[in-house]
């Protein structure tokens, strides 16, 4: 019963369009299984999976489906002729099975390149094409140039990836132009992509002020916008709805809370400099070692420690005004003290305070920066069953006061060992937020970078000698098209350098990256000019090390994760030592750090304590062996 959801909804009186991942995108977005040769062609499996698609299509037809949607998002990528031919072959193979159905092939997230557009609009058995006209503005030109007669055009004019209200007047203008090309009977008003990427319903937000709320549209409101646009196109325009929409857009453009002239000037002044530290990384590391006096293979963790039920309760009660500020500060300081003592007992070299005061690595900072708004129920799926509540960047960003100095200095006062100041970097804050669309993303990122720069310099003044600026999401923001990657990486890496370009040589700047395959952007990572980078490695089967095996020279400190914190499994000392040895085969001893893959907040202390104990033991074992070899 592959079609049970469709049948169930039909029984309830709702006729839906079943949506399937298209066969070619299914293969192109897959990866070879472990042990399979890297040169294996995923598209060679096309003939194997088409019979399965035929079965599913036949089942849906038998159940009464009249439309089927295939998502083929890979059509917006840079595809070669062999890959484009696979689309033609796939839909030719499905043509007879698709007979009698209306078939929509949907694309999204970017422009469809000219060659891919030709392939798409020539596919056999397809009666409709969907395009993202929010992020794919150049696609509009292709449609105007040549759109197949008699086919449906699904015009994605309502943004499915952000939370801003649609500019209805502008969208109607676009739709009217398209209607003259394809005919009103063949034009379907649509969102630019699935509404999976936006929050559910603005009605649930009772704490957002009315002005900001009037600028927004969550999934439920976007559906209303789609219907309003369709009715307007059919001659039944809701004047009051369109009027309120125009007033909201005018309010946003003129609102004093959106624009901060001082921030605009400071960000504009960044142009013309690449903001590099004056001394090269090798000289800085020498100066830092004299100050920090660390052993070879220094050990550290990434930042967070387990967030216990009790800790979450304290934060929740403080937010609800059930405990006083003094009680809250006392409880958090006690938690920091526990984490510091544990690290000292484990003999970790560079400590962290454990981040007990933080709910989320982006939300925590956004709550203390101007230009940000927050929802109560604006949850969005991140991956699997994990959901996040992205902040909304609605205006110019600045830092009214220090954000982390109090907790970092409190933690440093509890130990003689170096204590890392912990910050989230500007690119990650940007990429994990709903970002304003009235100025380029890089301008907003530069504003955030200046705010983080202020924090970095305040931490340094307060005596924090090691400062970590996490850029977990740097690679995540990489554009889908190769031609656009260089521009993004240039301003993203520049934003990171802005945050720490003014610190002394003796202040050690760390960054951390996770969730990514970094091999293809390793030069940009080097260009970030951090003193130490800790980076995910164990989950990706140590693919990162292959970069260094191929001759890439890395002179800064580097800590490829020695064990996977996403698993409750506790690695043995021998296993970790083996991983370190593999790293030493391609990296110099004096730049290698020993650390887990990521922060520890999702783990339990029963897992963290023995894993860290084994990690430190492995580092000490290797130090002894290296000393003996000398």
The overall longest dimension of the chain from CA atoms, in Å, is: 85
Q: Count CB atoms within 10 A of the CB of residue 303.
A: 24
Active-site residue (options: 197, 353, 510, 566): 566
The number of residues making up the chain comes to 630
Q: Report whether 20 contacts 69 (CB < 8 A).
A: yes
What's the rounded Cα separation, in Å, for the pair 559 and 546? 15
Q: CA–CA separation, 28 vs 93, rounded Å? A: 18
Residues contacting residue 346 through CB under 8 Å, at least 6 positions apart: 609, 612, 613, 616
466: helix, strand or coil: strand
Residue 493, C-beta contacts closer than 8 angstroms, at least 6 positions apart: 474, 524, 527, 528
For 132, list phi and psi in degrees, rounded to 5. Answer: -80, 105
H/E segment holding residue 393:
strand 392-398
CA atoms of 603 and 527, how far apart (whole Å):
33
Contact 615, 596 (CB under 8 A): yes
Quote the CA–CA distance of 407 and 404 in Å, as a whole number.
Answer: 6
69 phi and psi angles, rounded to 5 deg: -110, 130
Torsional sign, CA 513, 516, 519, 522: negative
- Cβ-proximal residues to 253 (8 Å cutoff; 6+ apart), any chain: 438
Q: How far apart are CA 539 and CA 522, in angstroms?
A: 18
- As a whole number of angstroms, the distance between CA 279 and CA 284 comes to 7
- The question of whether 3 is a catalytic residue gets the answer no
User: Can you point out the beta strands (E) in 402-496?
Assistant: 420-424, 434-435, 466-470
Active site residues: 566
């Amino acid at each position: 019963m592959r079609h049970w959801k469709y049948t169930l909804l039909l029984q309830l009186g709702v006729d839906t369009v079943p949506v399937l991942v298209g066969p070619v995108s299914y293969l192109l977005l897959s990866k070879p299984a472990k042990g399979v040769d890297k040169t294996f062609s995923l598209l060679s499996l096309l003939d194997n999976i088409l019979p399965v698609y035929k079965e599913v299509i036949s089942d849906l037809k038998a159940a009464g489906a009249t439309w089927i949607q295939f998502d083929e998002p890979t059509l917006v990528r840079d595809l070669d002729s062999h890959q484009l031919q696979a689309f033609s072959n796939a839909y030719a193979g499905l043509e007879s099975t698709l007979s009698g159905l209306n078939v929509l092939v949907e694309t999204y997230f970017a422009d469809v390149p000219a060659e891919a557009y030709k392939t798409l609009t020539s596919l056999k058995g397809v009666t409709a094409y969907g395009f993202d006209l929010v992020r794919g503005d150049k696609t509009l030109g292709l449609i105007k140039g040549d759109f197949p007669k008699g086919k449906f055009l699904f015009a994605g004019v309502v943004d499915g990836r952000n939370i801003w209200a649609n500019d209805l007047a502008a969208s109607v203008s676009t739709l009217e132009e398209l209607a003259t090309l394809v005919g009103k009977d063949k034009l379907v008003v649509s969102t630019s992509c699935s509404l999976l990427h936006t929050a559910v319903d603005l009605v649930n937000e009772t704490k957002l002020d009315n002005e900001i709320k009037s600028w927004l549209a969550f999934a439920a409101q976007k559906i209303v916008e789609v219907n309003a646009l369709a009715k307007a196109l059919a001659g039944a325009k809701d004047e009051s709805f369109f009027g309120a929409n125009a007033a909201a857009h005018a309010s946003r453009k003129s609102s004093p809370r959106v624009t901060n002239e001082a921030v605009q000037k400071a960000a504009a002044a960044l142009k013309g400099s690449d903001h590099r530290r004056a001394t090269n990384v090798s000289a800085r590391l020498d100066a830092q070692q004299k100050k920090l006096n660390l052993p070879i293979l220094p050990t550290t963790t990434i930042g967070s420690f387990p967030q216990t039920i009790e800790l979450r309760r304290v934060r929740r009660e403080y937010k609800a005004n059930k405990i006083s500020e003094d009680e809250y500060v006392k409880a958090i300081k006690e938690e920091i003290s526990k984490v510091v003592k544990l690290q000292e007992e484990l003999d970790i070299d560079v400590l962290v305070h454990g981040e007990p005061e933080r709910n989320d690595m982006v939300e925590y900072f956004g709550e203390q920066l101007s230009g940000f708004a927050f929802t109560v129920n604006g949850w969005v799926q991140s991956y699997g069953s994990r959901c996040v509540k992205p902040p909304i960047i609605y205006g110019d960003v600045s830092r009214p006061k220090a954000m982390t100095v109090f907790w970092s200095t409190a933690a440093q006062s509890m130990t003689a060992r170096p204590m890392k100041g912990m910050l989230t970097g500007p690119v990650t804050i940007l990429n994990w937020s709903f970002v304003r669309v009235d100025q380029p993303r890089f301008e907003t990122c530069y504003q955030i970078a200046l705010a983080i720069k202020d924090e970095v310099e305040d931490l340094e003044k307060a005596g924090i000698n090691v400062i970590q600026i996490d850029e977990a999401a740097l690679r995540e923001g990489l554009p889908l098209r190769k031609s656009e990657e260089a521009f993004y990486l240039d301003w993203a890496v520049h934003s990171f350098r802005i945050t720490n370009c003014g610190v002394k040589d003796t202040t050690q700047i760390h960054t951390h990256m996770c969730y990514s395959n970094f091999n293809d952007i390793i030069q940009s990572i080097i260009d970030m000019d951090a003193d130490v980078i800790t980076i995910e490695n164990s989950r990706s089967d140590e693919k990162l090390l292959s970069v260094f095996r191929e001759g890439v020279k890395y002179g800064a400190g580097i800590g490829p994760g020695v064990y996977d914190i996403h698993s409750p499994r506790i690695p043995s000392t021998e296993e970790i030592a083996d991983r370190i040895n593999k790293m030493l085969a391609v990296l110099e001893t004096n730049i290698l750090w020993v650390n887990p893959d990521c922060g520890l907040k999702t783990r339990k202390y029963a897992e963290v304590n023995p894993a860290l104990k084994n990690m430190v033991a492995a580092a000490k074992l290797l130090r002894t062996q290296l000393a003996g070899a000398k």
